[in-house]
Amino acid sequence: MVQKLMVVEQVLSANDRVAENNRQYFDRHAVFAINILASPGAGKTSLIEKTVQLLAARLRIAVIDGDIATSLDADRAAAAGASAVQINTGGECHLDAPMIAGALPQSVLSASVPEGDDKPYKYPGTYRGVNALVINKIDLLPYVTFNMDYFRQGVEILNPGLVTFPLSCRTDEGLDSWIHWLLQATLQFQEQSR
């Protein structure tokens, strides 16, 4: 039992060390890095595609895609105009991707309308820790039972004042606000890093 605890501690501190190295590397090169997390199918890759297409003329964008096996999503990001690399986690081992994720200062959660409006209440920890929230697939609001007020109330309790972007990667509605926020945050970060 004691031995098992020691092993866990060593793995975690190795993670922390690598994450700290990554953080320093990003800072040194004035790279504004964000972590986008969402459940499978919420639209992460669609959001990345749209973001890269709309910002590629203004920013140099790189995507690190953590996936279980394929490079399909990294290929989509590359086709949209980003430099993209794939980390295949091989199923069980989630070591490399979280080591990078842990080094990223901004965390963006993407929820989506078909997941349902109860998700902030069911997964409070996820909503507490993020710096921005995308609510994707708003084009589906007429077809899905999703009470936006109820959803937002849940978010507000967990993460007061969280900046939120309801949008659709299908119709492009709301994408302009997200792009504006991301561009401003990037420029502000780069200004501070000088």
Please name which of 89, 86, 135 lies closest in space to residue 109, comparing C-alpha atoms. Answer: 135
- In the chain, the amino acid numbered 97 is A
Q: Footprint of Mg ion on residues 60-99 (CB under 5 A)?
A: 73
Q: Is 112 in the site for Mg ion (CB under 5 A)?
A: no
Cα 102 to Cα 96: distance, rounded to the nearest angstrom: 10
Dihedral of CA 137/183/132/29: which sign?
A: positive
Q: Footprint of ligand GDP on residues 62-91 (CB under 6 A)?
A: 73
Nearer to Mg ion, 53 or 153 (CB): 53
Among residues 51, 136, 159, 186, the one that binds ligand GDP under rule CB under 6 A = 136
For the packed helices 44-55 and 175-193, what is the interaxial angle rounded to 10 degrees? Answer: 70
What single-letter DSSP state applies at residue 168? -
Compute how many residues bind ligand GDP; rule: CB under 6 A: 16
Q: Find the shortest distance in angstroms from Cβ 48 to ligand GDP.
A: 8
| Residue ranges binding ligand GDP (CB under 6 A) | 38, 40-46, 73, 136-137, 139-140, 168-170
| Residue ranges binding Mg ion (CB under 5 A) | 44-45, 73
